[in-house]
Chain A
Amino acid sequence: MAFSSATATVSQNLTFASSNKLSFSHSSSSSSTSSFNFLSFPSFQSKFCKTIISSPQITRAHAPPSPSTTTTATSSFHGLCYVVGDNIDTDQIIPAEHLTLVPSNPDEYQKLGSFALIGLPDSYAVRFIDSGETKTKYSIIIAGDNFGCGSSREHAPVALGASGAAAVIAESYARIFFRNSVATGEVYPVESETRICEECRTGDVVTVELEENRLINHTTGKEYKLKPIGDAGPVIEAGGIFAYARKTGMIPTR
Chain B
Amino acid sequence: MPQTSMASSLVAPPSTSFFHTKKDLNLSAFSSSSSSSSQRYQKHASRKICCSVSAPQQTQRQPSTTGSVKTAMTMTEKILARASQKEQVTPGDNIWVNVDILMTHDVCGPGSIGIFKNEFGKDAKVWDREKVVIIPDHYIFTSDERANRNVDILRDFCNEQNIKYFYDIKDLSNFKVNPDYKGVCHIALAQEGHCRPGEVLLGTDSHTCTAGAFGQFATGIGNTDAGFVLGAGKLLLKVPPTLRFVMDGEMPNYLLAKDLILQIIGEISVAGATYKSMEFVGSTVESLNMEERMTLCNMVVEAGGKNGVIPPDSITYKYLEGKTSVPYEPVYSDHQARFLSEYRFDVSKLEPLVAKPHSPDNRALARECKDVKINRVYIGSCTGGKTEDFMAAAKVFLASGKKVKVPTFLVPATQKVWMDVYSLPVPGSGGKTCSQIFEEAGCDTPASPSCGACLGGPKDTYARMNEPQVCVSTTNRNFPGRMGHREGEIYLASPYTAAASALTGYVTDPREFLQ
Which of B94, B115, B304, B457 makes the CB contact (< 8 A) with A96? B457
Chain B minimum-CB-distance residue to A184: B224
Name the A residues within 8 Å of B223 (CB-CB): 103-104, 154, 180, 184
Contacts A41-B118, A87-B270 known; A152 to B224 CB distance under 8 Å? no
Q: Are B94 and A122 in contact (CB under 8 A)?
A: no
B179 within 8 A of A: no
Which of A119, A152, A153 makes the CB contact (< 8 A) with B486? A119
What is the bound-complex CA distance between A154 and B126, given in angstroms? 21
Contacts A152-B204, A242-B228 known; A89 to B477 CB distance under 8 Å? yes
What is the bound-complex CA distance between A157 and B481, given in angstroms? 18
Q: Are A6 and B111 in contact (CB under 8 A)?
A: no
Name the A residues within 8 Å of B486 (CB-CB): 95, 119, 121-122
A216 within 8 A of B: no
Write the A24-43 contact mask toward B (1 if CB under 8 angstroms, else 0): 00000000000000001100
B147 within 8 A of A: yes
Contacts A87-B359, A174-B271, A241-B228 known; A151 to B455 CB distance under 8 Å? yes
Instruction: Give chain B nearest CB distance to A228 CB in angstroms.
Output: 17
A218 within 8 A of B: no
Which of B139, B225, B304 makes the CB contact (< 8 A) with A174? B304
Chain B interface size, as a band, is: 35 or more
Interface residues of A in 224-254 (CB under 8 A from B): 240-242, 254
Contacts A91-B480, A154-B223 known; A2 to B456 CB distance under 8 Å? no
Q: Are A99 and B94 in contact (CB under 8 A)?
A: no
Which of B206, B237, B480 makes the CB contact (< 8 A) with A152? B206
Write the B272-310 contact mask toward A (1 if CB under 8 angstroms, else 0): 001100000000000000000000000000001010000
Q: Are A172 and B271 in contact (CB under 8 A)?
A: yes
B86 within 8 A of A: no
Chain A minimum-CB-distance residue to B461: A97
Instruction: Give chain B nearest CB distance to A77 CB in angstroms.
Output: 22
Instruction: Give chain B nearest CB distance to A89 CB in angstroms.
Output: 4
B67 within 8 A of A: no
Instruction: Give chain A nearest CB distance to B234 CB in angstroms.
Output: 12
Q: Are A102 and B110 in contact (CB under 8 A)?
A: yes
Q: Are A6 and B481 in contact (CB under 8 A)?
A: no
Interface residues of B in 223-244 (CB under 8 A from A): 223-225, 227-228, 236-238
Name the A residues within 8 Å of B237 (CB-CB): 2
Chain A minimum-CB-distance residue to B456: A96
Name the A residues within 8 Å of B149 (CB-CB): 100
What is the bound-complex CA distance between A146 and B227, given in angstroms? 26
B388 within 8 A of A: no
What is the bound-complex CA distance between A122 and B481, given in angstroms? 11
Name the A residues within 8 Å of B206 (CB-CB): 150-152, 176
A131 within 8 A of B: no
Q: Are A4 and B94 in contact (CB under 8 A)?
A: yes
Write the B480-508 contact mask toward A (1 if CB under 8 angstroms, else 0): 11101011000000000000000000000
Name the A residues within 8 Å of B205 (CB-CB): 151-152
Number of contacts between A and B (CB, 8 Å)? 155
B442 within 8 A of A: no
- Pick the most buried of A89, A96, A153, A172: most chain B CB atoms within 10 A of its CB: A96
Name the A residues within 8 Å of B221 (CB-CB): 152, 176, 179
Which of A91, A103, A175, A254 makes the CB contact (< 8 A) with B275? A175
A105 within 8 A of B: yes
Name the B residues within 8 Å of A104 (CB-CB): 110-111, 113-115, 118, 223
Instruction: Give chain B nearest CB distance to A149 CB in angstroms.
Output: 6
Q: Are B94 and A5 in contact (CB under 8 A)?
A: yes
Interface residues of B in 65-107 (CB under 8 A from A): 93-96, 107
Chain A minimum-CB-distance residue to B139: A100
Instruction: Give chain A nearest CB distance to B271 CB in angstroms.
Output: 4
- Pick the most buried of B221, B458, B481: most chain A CB atoms within 10 A of its CB: B481
Q: Are A154 and B487 in contact (CB under 8 A)?
A: no
Write the B23-51 contact mask toward A (1 if CB under 8 angstroms, else 0): 00000000000000000000000000000
What is the bound-complex CA distance between A149 and B359, given in angstroms? 11
Chain A minimum-CB-distance residue to B306: A175
Write the B111-134 contact mask toward A (1 if CB under 8 angstroms, else 0): 101110011010000000000000
What is the bound-complex CA distance between A150 and B306, given in angstroms? 12
A204 within 8 A of B: no
What is the bound-complex CA distance between A58 and B125, given in angstroms? 40
What is the bound-complex CA distance between A119 and B358, given in angstroms? 13
Q: Are B236 and A91 in contact (CB under 8 A)?
A: no
Q: Are A92 and B480 in contact (CB under 8 A)?
A: yes
What is the bound-complex CA distance between A183 and B112, given in angstroms? 12
Q: Are A100 and B222 in contact (CB under 8 A)?
A: no
Which of A6, A99, A149, A184 makes the CB contact (< 8 A) with B270? A149
- Pick the most buried of B206, B457, B459: most chain A CB atoms within 10 A of its CB: B206
Write the A133-159 contact mask toward B (1 if CB under 8 angstroms, else 0): 000000000000110011111110000
Contacts A97-B456, A119-B481 known; A3 to B222 CB distance under 8 Å? no
Contacts A92-B480, A100-B146 known; A175 to B274 CB distance under 8 Å? yes
Q: Are B481 and A91 in contact (CB under 8 A)?
A: yes
What is the bound-complex CA distance between A56 and B63, given in angstroms? 63
Q: Are A6 and B119 in contact (CB under 8 A)?
A: no
Q: Are B271 and A154 in contact (CB under 8 A)?
A: no
Q: Are B304 and A175 in contact (CB under 8 A)?
A: yes
Name the B residues within 8 Å of A102 (CB-CB): 110-111, 114, 150, 153
20 new A-B contacts at CB < 8 Å, known A149-B271, A242-B228? A4-B94, A6-B94, A89-B477, A89-B479, A91-B477, A91-B482, A92-B479, A95-B481, A101-B146, A102-B114, A104-B118, A104-B223, A119-B480, A122-B486, A145-B271, A152-B204, A172-B271, A180-B224, A241-B228, A242-B224
B-binding residues in A (CB < 8 A): 1-6, 40-41, 87, 89, 91-92, 95-97, 99-105, 119-122, 145-146, 149-155, 172-176, 179-180, 183-184, 240-242, 254
Interchain residue pairs A-B with the least CB separation, the first 6: A104-B114, A152-B220, A154-B222, A180-B222, A5-B94, A100-B146
Q: List 18 A-B contacts (CB under 8 A).
A: A87-B271, A87-B359, A91-B455, A95-B456, A100-B147, A102-B110, A119-B480, A149-B271, A152-B206, A154-B224, A155-B111, A172-B271, A172-B274, A174-B274, A174-B304, A179-B222, A184-B222, A242-B228
